[in-house]
Structure 1
Amino acid sequence: MLKKRNLILIMVMQFCMTTYSQTFDYLYDQSFTLDVADVIETQNDYLLIAFKSTYPNFESVFIRISKTGQFISDSIDNTHPGYMTQKIHKYNQNYLLIKSILSGLGSDRIVIQEVDSTLKNQISSYAYSSNSTFDIANARILSNNQLLMVGNSFQQGVGRDAFVYQFNLDTQSDTMINLGNNNPTLDLSSDILMLGGKYYVFKTIGNTSSNCATFNEISRYFADWTHDTTVAICNSISTSTDHHFRFIVSALKISESDFMMAARADYSNSINTIRPEQIGQLHWDTNFVELNASLYGKYDTVAIEANQGISRFSNHPFVFVGGTENYKVNPAGVDTTDSFYTLIKTDLLGNPIWTRYYSNHSYLQLRKVLATSDGGAIMVGSSYDENRSNNSSTEKELWILKVDSNGNMSNSNSIIENKLKPTLLFYPNPVNNILYYKQINSFNDYSFQLYDSKASVVLRSAISNTFGEIDVSQLINGVYFYLLFDNNGLAIQRGKIIKQ
């Protein structure tokens, strides 16, 4: 194992030294609210699928951004009014658009449409009709030109059911597999892999009677969809019953014999207590043996997983995992809190290489992480700022962030200018014993100095990590002031800390 780990580390170092990555960020700001559905990398640009809600109909928007972060074009998909394009795939020289209708209009609930490279001309289309409506969580093209979709279906008066929909792209034959139990709240298949000729379906089930609040499981099926086995993954993190792996699970094939999963993880064994959360990652083999388990970030606030939160490009020797930290659950769907895109880079064994935090100083929610061909990653999600909304107090924009293989971003051109832009975030404040910090958008070494009311230095600390802690337990209660110095001795940030 040690030799394998060292080999992977050498591969990662060699890749980082020989790869150049583009970096940019772009705020797509319109006079209406948009949510991200998908993003793919093409040879020349990044193609985003977003949707705006005009309930009971939806309008899908195609957005092209160059690899240097320049806006190229946007257009509305008018080929299926009322449908929402939820996934897109490159298919030969064309694109496959996977659409669903979430309203009560019509009976064609899923549409698979092949269009040319302009996204305007239809080549073929296939519709699946049903009395249920479908929310598609993910879609993958697996072996033998099989397109497989997973998500949940809903039928009034019946409940929600997880499903797998299989479509043969060659013969245009299909199979709908219902995996549900008519759960009225949550029954979702969020991802699917094929390993060793068998299907692995990742599910989330509402289960508030357990100490996990939600219950996750993996169901394995033979190629003919005969059930093989099902295992629970709720209490799996490091085999501890206090670390719950839950909600939307994203999966990634590493080889025919092992895979990774990413979701959120919490720290409470009681559903009646507050659940500080982190982003969790598991590395399992196909015998369902846990090979590695990692938790990322600090368990100080709520962290939520991205809808598609784990990605690897081709045979690159590393993986990206993403989510949102400092997220505040608000029934309105927006909040005035600053939240952060969180990105973690790991090796193929699940060992962390680095963790980074990013913000444009608005209320963010990361939806998808995509590893890119240049060794970096692109993150796409929603951004809300109460001082910038155009026509609605709940209007959201899209924040698109491209970083290089070391997690570096360029100087932002879309940071909200009317808010403070600290290099480091210190919390909690007031503080009792331990002061935590996070580096935001820049990742360097700093010197931290804390002063009392007489301007005497009472504490010095070197900061060299993305996040960490400073022990202030020996200080007497009172008000202190700090300065943050860069490597050139220049004070770049100042502030006040209250010890209580």
Structure 2
Amino acid sequence: MKQYYIVIFFLLTLAFGCNDEEGAGPGESDTFVKLYGSRYGEDAQDLLVESDGRMLVLSSTEIEIDDDTYYKVIVRQIDALGNLLWESTFPSSEIENTLPNYTGSSIIKHLDGYLIIGSSINTDSETSESETNMLLLKIDQSGSMIATSEFSLDDGSTELNGVDAVVNSVGELKVTALLNSDTQNLWVGTFDDNLNNIPECSFSFSSAGSGTSLIQGAFVEENNDIVYSISTFVNKGNSRLVRVPSCQPTQITGPLISTEANTASYDINQLSTSLNGYAMVGTTDVNGDNDIFLARVDEFGVLQDSIPIVFGGADLDGDEEGFGIYQTADGGFLITGSSESNTEGGSDIILIKTDFRGNELWSRFYGDQNDEQASEIGQAPDGGYLILGDTEFGGINTLILIKTDRQGNVN
């Protein structure tokens, strides 16, 4: 049930930085492998799939010039065949010491355009001191910037990093963020259509752990409660579901995935919905090496299985890491990440399809002699699967977008 695909990247050079509608004829396959990149290299951040098959791909780039480091956000709209429609970079100006630096975490549909959630890093050119504020960047359907909003706490003395956002049933924008703080390091804020903060519906919380990461994947329920997840250190690496009642300074935190002292680590990387609650994917060392785990939890974060499901064993004898999860139309899950098992060299992209209980149906590998890993997964309107990740092309970190059929095959 396991298949392996060699991605021959030198045959794909026409897809690198110059994708267009040419050659996209009616007989072209509905599966593809495409590369997108820039001269400084990029890291994949998020994938948004539209109902007509178009995609929004969010990435961040790190630019080093004369011992200085700058960060920019790049957004691309790509059609259903993988052709580039438009590309926008923010900030759009040339590099200057006075420019803000932007990093992106998530992109969502918002009103008649799109909203990027991330961080703005502002550095004083004289003192080299910097402050990090949460960034909300609104763009229209053609990729032009409409508005930006930078939000900080305590007059900028507490760093705030935006992670994800959802819109509730009354049209309020709910944003999740991580604070650089020892005690209150989680934050949920409410914003209006003009990206103005509503302070009476914005709260900070403690994660009750250390080394906390806020996970991409925020959801709003019918009663407008906001649900997200965190990875934190309690005994060892651990994960939990968090629920914040709308406009109430109350946090309901679910139980830890692992509750015994000195047990295995379960570090979550992404959260999705499931038929009876939510599903977490991440990496565990329960078998000694690194393996991918799936934890299905109910609406209050209680495990639906006695222990998380681990994908490993004889078929996966190397290190695996789980980075992305998506609930498919049949109620099952797509899981993606990286694998060092059965590879031609380095790490490859792994794709696992499960049923609604998390039982593995099949798995696929994609890669070549370079290192590849995938961080985002989605389903196309035609039922095929979309995988967004990173690879190396010409010594530069480059985005890779794979479209498969319903069985994970690339023709």
Note if 1:180 corresponds to 2:206: yes
Q: Which amino acid aligns with 2:310?
A: L
Are the aligned partners of 2:254 and 2:300 in contact in 1 as well (CA < 8 Å)? no
Match of 2:327 among 305, 308, 312: 312
Give the 3 Å change call, closer, same or farther, for CA 345–225 of structure 1 in structure 2.
Answer: farther
Give 1:277 deviation, angstroms. Answer: 1.9
For the residue of structure 1 that corresponds to 2:358, the secondary structure is coil
Are the aligned partners of 1:102 and 1:134 in contact in 2 as well (CA < 8 Å)? no
Give 1:242 deviation, angstroms. Answer: 9.7
Give 1:35 deviation, angstroms. Answer: 0.7
**1:267-321 CA distance string (max 9 Å, x none):** 25xxxxxx31221112222354433442224452222221xx11136x5543212
- 2:232 is matched with 205
- 1:250 is matched with 270
Match of 2:135 among 111, 114, 117: 111
- 1:423 is matched with none
Give the 3 Å change call, closer, same or farther, for CA 68–321 of structure 1 in structure 2.
Answer: same
- Determine the C-alpha separation between the residues in 2 that align with 1:203 and 1:121: 31
Match of 1:164 among 188, 193, 202: 188
TM-score, normalised to structure 2's length? Answer: 0.75
Give the 3 Å change call, closer, same or farther, for CA 195–91 of structure 1 in structure 2.
Answer: closer
Give 1:25 deviation, angstroms. Answer: 0.5
Give the 3 Å change call, closer, same or farther, for CA 254–159 of structure 1 in structure 2.
Answer: closer
Identity of aligned residues (%): 17
Give the 3 Å change call, closer, same or farther, for CA 398–288 of structure 1 in structure 2.
Answer: closer
For the residue of structure 1 that corresponds to 2:39, the secondary structure is coil
Give the 3 Å change call, closer, same or farther, for CA 165–372 of structure 1 in structure 2.
Answer: farther
Q: Which amino acid aligns with 1:367?
A: S
Q: Which amino acid aligns with 2:322?
A: E
Match of 1:370 among 361, 372, 378: 378
- Determine the C-alpha separation between the residues in 2 that align with 1:171 and 1:134: 16
* Ranges in structure 2 where 5+ consecutive residues have no aligned partner: 1-28, 93-98, 125-129
Are the aligned partners of 2:187 and 2:204 in contact in 1 as well (CA < 8 Å)? yes
**1:186-217 CA distance string (max 9 Å, x none):** 2122143334633333111234xx2xx31222
* Ranges in structure 1 where 5+ consecutive residues have no aligned partner: 1-20, 269-274, 328-335, 390-394, 411-500
- Determine the C-alpha separation between the residues in 2 that align with 1:76 and 1:406: 35
Q: RMSD of aligned C-alpha atoms?
A: 3.3
- Determine the C-alpha separation between the residues in 1 that align with 2:378 and 2:263: 27
Give the 3 Å change call, closer, same or farther, for CA 160–228 of structure 1 in structure 2.
Answer: closer
- Determine the C-alpha separation between the residues in 2 that align with 1:99 and 1:24: 29
Q: Which amino acid aligns with 1:407?
A: G
- 1:349 is matched with 357
Q: Name the larger-Rg structure.
A: 1
Q: Which amino acid aligns with 1:187?
A: T
- 1:66 is matched with 79
- 1:76 is matched with 89
Are the aligned partners of 2:389 and 2:400 in contact in 1 as well (CA < 8 Å)? yes
Give 1:226 deviation, angstroms. Answer: 4.3
Are the aligned partners of 2:34 and 2:82 in contact in 1 as well (CA < 8 Å)? yes
- 1:85 is matched with 104
Give 1:160 deviation, angstroms. Answer: 8.4
TM-score, normalised to structure 1's length? Answer: 0.62
- 2:293 is matched with 280
Q: Which amino acid aligns with 1:47?
A: L
Give 1:406 deviation, angstroms. Answer: 0.8
Note if 1:34 corresponds to 2:35: no
For the residue of structure 1 that corresponds to 2:362, the secondary structure is strand
Give 1:400 deviation, angstroms. Answer: 1.4
Are the aligned partners of 2:274 and 2:331 in contact in 1 as well (CA < 8 Å)? no
Give 1:260 deviation, angstroms. Answer: 1.7
- Determine the C-alpha separation between the residues in 2 that align with 1:354 and 1:311: 15
Are the aligned partners of 2:239 and 2:267 in contact in 1 as well (CA < 8 Å)? yes
**Equivalences, count:** 355
- Determine the C-alpha separation between the residues in 2 that align with 1:181 and 1:71: 40
Are the aligned partners of 2:241 and 2:301 in contact in 1 as well (CA < 8 Å)? no
Give 1:34 deviation, angstroms. Answer: 0.8
